[in-house]
Structure 1
Amino acid sequence: MKEADVQAAFEAYLLERGWDIQTDDGDTADVRAKRGAEVKGVTSSPGLDMDTGYGQLLRCMSRHPEATQFALVVPERLCSAVERVSPDIRRRLDLDVIVVDDLGGVRSVETGGSEGKA
């Protein structure tokens, strides 16, 4: 699943639930709604891509109000790469992981402090 497909499924998920979204403003996360989200797709280097995604979110965190919620949005098959950062660390950062399956279904996995609020 390509990054564009993951992002499209996540945006549709948010819009269906009445969220106002802003995408790709070049300075922050890929999708901004009530939380910032960095979106990643399947590539030949999933571990490196997840590390990059976490780094991009960490840089964004310093430019946003403390109450901003952040999420890493990934295809389901990249869960093992996402889990290289432990759930305990993700909870400390209050960082959610949102998973998109091959059919475009979206769900939150156990991570930051806002479990299930995707």
Structure 2
Amino acid sequence: MRGDEAMVVGAFHSWLESEGWAAEAVRDHWDLIASRNGETLYCEAKGSTSEPGLDIHTAYGQIICRQAEQDDHAARYGLVIRDEPKLVRAALRAPARLRVALRTTIYAVSEEGAVRLV
């Protein structure tokens, strides 16, 4: 993982476990895969970047393409980003209706490791 993406993944991993998820880092091209009560959450993470638009578009593309690899139509997907205004703005460029159709939720991780739903 490049830059501070490892911090984002580590903090989100800890948060997931505190919320009752069993999480596993870096598997099958996903940064994190978590499960809880029969539900699976596949996560793609991005840390700070000088190209937020490009990197967020890449993340959405990765989520879309990797969904085709999953045989779990009930799975959910997480875009996990550093909680920075430029990254949040870039992530929110995808319309809500598209994020709903893709079953994708945006999570933002602060420098202190706090996680919030965007």
- Gaps of at least 5 residues in structure 1 are 110-118
- 2:42 equivalent among 33, 36, 42: 36
State the alpha-carbon separation in 2 of the partners of residues 84 and 18 from structure 1: 30
Match of 2:116 in 1: 107
- Structure 1 segments (4+ residues) deviating >3 Å: none
Structure number with the higher strand fraction is 2
Task: Give RMSD over aligned pairs.
Answer: 1.3
State the alpha-carbon separation in 2 of the partners of residues 71 and 15 from structure 1: 15
- Gaps of at least 5 residues in structure 2 are 35-39
SS in 1 for 2:17: helix
Correspondence 1:87 to 2:93: no
Task: Compute the displacement of 1:47 (Å).
Answer: 0.8
Match of 2:10 in 1: 8
Q: Please, what TM-score do these two structures have when normalized by structure 2?
A: 0.85
SS in 1 for 2:90: helix
Task: Compute the displacement of 1:101 (Å).
Answer: 1.5
Match of 1:114 in 2: none
SS in 2 for 1:107: strand
Moved more, 50-59 or 88-97: 88-97
Q: Please, what TM-score do these two structures have when normalized by structure 1?
A: 0.85
State the alpha-carbon separation in 1 of the partners of residues 78 and 65 from structure 2: 13
Higher relative contact order (CA 8 A, sep 6+): 2
Task: Compute the displacement of 1:13 (Å).
Answer: 0.2
Identity %: 34
State the alpha-carbon separation in 2 of the partners of residues 86 and 76 from structure 1: 19
Task: Compute the displacement of 1:17 (Å).
Answer: 2.3
Number of aligned residue pairs: give it: 108
State the alpha-carbon separation in 2 of the partners of residues 15 and 83 from structure 1: 26
